[in-house]
Amino acid sequence: MTLLDVPFADVRGDTLRWTLAPVRCTPLASRTVNLGTGLTVTLSVLGASHQVVVRHGEHPLLHETVACGIAEAAPLPGAHSGDGYRLRSHVSQVGPDELAERASALVTRLGGRTDAVVAHFPGDPHAVTALSLDRAEPAELTWRTWHTYPQTGEIVATTTSYRPKEVVSA
């Protein structure tokens, strides 16, 4: 787990934008998982947002960015699919106790994993951004993300599946 040395910005889940276009950004915390098949997956925390980049060798196959302030990106969709990629997202509105419990459970569940990144912001231990690679087979990758917003009682969760072989073989 990474304690970020940046202030927590008051953002809301409905301000998150989503894009598959490459977006240059400096991660606050990241982890690259080498799948041993020429594929790597880089999971990055960008504050209260995230980026996942899948590469085959040095060649990027996919950029997924969910962040506030991306001018040319779309609002985060509830679902999207195409070209071997599928995203589902959900925003939960919860009370302070449930948010605290769920954020703490994320930190506990993902904190020691080598295929996950968990970061929280100073000032509120329940302001968490977390990413985990849940399935890492050459034929299909699956990752999940969570963004907690204690000030609004929101938890934004995404689940993404990607089939890089469809892209590598094409």
Name the pTM for this structure: 0.90
Owner of token pair 């940046």: 6
77 DSSP assignment: P
38 φ, ψ (degrees, to nearest 5): 90, -10
Return the minimum-mean-pLDDT range out of 4-18, 29-43, 77-91, 140-154.
4-18
Q: Who has greater pLDDT, 37 or 144?
A: 144
Burial track 29-51 (b if 16+ CB lie within 10 A, e otherwise): bbbebebeeebbbbbbbbbbbbb
**How does pLDDT run across 51-62, given as a tens digit for each residue?**
999 999 999 999
Q: How confident is the model at residue 169 (pLDDT cuts 50, 70, 90)?
A: very low
**Bridge partners of residue 19, in order along the sequence:** 65
**pLDDT at residue 7, rounded to an integer:** 55
Q: How confident is the model at residue 26 (pLDDT cuts 50, 70, 90)?
A: confident
